[in-house]
């Protein structure tokens, strides 16, 4: 969601951060891989050509990069990390702590996090409603 609003470098750094997150609890699930592929489509063909599905060795460097970006950029990145963590319906503790750490480092308030989580649920509800209407 809204990844197209990020700069080229922000998109690449986001994908790196996303890959770190999906691997925090072990190997990437098929649901997570599918969402990563959808996110790749959203960021654009030019980014897809540069992306290799390998995360950097320095997570802290990636986080530091985003700390100096605008609050809008940090909100978009955090929103998409939330979405990624919730795709497989298994919100495990490793992902929770990873997101909590990112939230603190990005200086995102609890209220903003609640708003972003609500957006992810609203999107899921809308997709489910569309699926029911179209497929029944």
Angle between helix axes 110-135 and 71-86 (nearest 10 degrees) is: 50
Q: pLDDT digit string (tens) for 45-70? A: 677 666 665 566 788 999 999 999 99
Q: pLDDT digit string (tens) for 18-42? A: 888 888 877 667 777 777 777 777 7
pLDDT in the model for residue 118: 96
pLDDT in the model for residue 52: 61
pLDDT in the model for residue 22: 80
* Residue 119 CB-density burial (10 A; 0-12 exposed, 13-18 middle, 19+ buried): middle
Domain extents for the chain?
A: 3-135
Q: Would you state the CATH architecture of domain 3-135?
A: Orthogonal Bundle (1.10)
Comparing 108 with 24, the larger pLDDT belongs to 108
Place of tokens 């990145």: 77
Q: pLDDT digit string (tens) for 73-103? A: 999 999 999 988 887 666 678 888 999 999 9
């Amino acid at each position: 969601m809204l990844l197209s609003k990020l700069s080229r470098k922000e998109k690449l750094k986001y994908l790196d951060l996303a890959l770190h997150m999906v691997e925090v609890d072990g190997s990437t699930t098929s649901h997570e891989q599918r969402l990563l592929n959808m996110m790749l489509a959203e960021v654009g063909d030019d980014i897809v050509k540069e992306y290799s599905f390998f995360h950097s060795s320095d997570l802290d460097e990636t986080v530091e990069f985003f700390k100096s970006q605008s609050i809008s950029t940090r909100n978009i990145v955090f929103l998409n990390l939330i979405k990624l963590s919730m795709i497989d319906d298994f919100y495990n503790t490793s992902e929770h702590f990873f997101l909590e750490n990112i939230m603190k480092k990005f200086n995102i308030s609890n209220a903003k996090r609640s708003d972003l989580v609500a957006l992810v649920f609203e999107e899921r509800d809308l997709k489910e409603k569309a699926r029911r209407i179209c497929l029944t």
